[in-house]
């Protein structure tokens, strides 16, 4: 398998493994609950338990296959398991940054970064479950540079 060359100024981020597990944990609990009910009362519920576990596995893989690429000019985010979708947002379109850190994220040193943009297709870009870092400052610097380079001025 050929390795794709990634320039050094490109930042590649994936959601953390623990984030994916946190997201599917309620599904795992539901699957075990139905498995318990199947063993105790109604054996056909085992199929529902299996279906929920398969869906949880799919969600886990879907979350883990999400890739965020940040370059000085563009933010690319790819997602999907069987059908990949890649969206791009130009850096100069980013208007605002919101950093979210619920308690469980603070425990595991994770963050959600919400970028509000002027892009009509992607007005809000979520970078979910990524490791805590100085990414907001890096993106802000890239936004300022691309606005200066492209002579884009914000009028309120």
Closest CA to 97 of 125, 133, 66: 125
| pLDDT value for 111 | 94
CA–centroid distance for 44 within its chain? 36
In tens, the pLDDT along 92-141 reads: 899 999 999 999 999 999 999 999 998 888 899 999 999 998 899 999 99
Q: May I ask the CATH class of domain 11-149?
A: mainly beta
**Which distant-in-sequence residues (6+ apart) come within 8 Å of 40 by Cβ?**
none
| pLDDT value for 103 | 95
Domain boundaries, the chain: 11-149
In tens, the pLDDT along 14-60 reads: 999 999 999 999 999 999 999 999 988 988 889 999 999 999 999 99
pTM > 0.75: yes or no? yes
């Amino acid at each position: 398998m050929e390795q794709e060359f990634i320039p050094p100024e490109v930042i590649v981020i994936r959601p953390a493994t623990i984030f994916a597990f946190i997201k599917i944990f309620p599904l795992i609990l539901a699957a075990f609950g139905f498995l318990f009910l199947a063993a105790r009362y109604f054996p056909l519920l085992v199929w529902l338990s299996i279906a929920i576990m398969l869906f949880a596995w799919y969600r886990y893989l879907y979350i883990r296959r999400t890739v965020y690429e940040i370059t000085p000019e563009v933010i690319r985010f790819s997602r999907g398991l069987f059908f990949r979708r890649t969206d791009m947002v130009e850096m100069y379109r980013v208007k605002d940054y919101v950093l979210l850190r619920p308690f469980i994220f603070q425990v595991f040193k994770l963050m959600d970064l919400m970028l509000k943009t002027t892009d009509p297709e992607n007005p809000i870009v979520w970078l979910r479950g990524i490791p805590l870092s100085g990414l907001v400052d890096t993106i802000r610097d890239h936004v300022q540079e691309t606005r200066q380079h492209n002579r884009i001025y914000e009028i309120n």
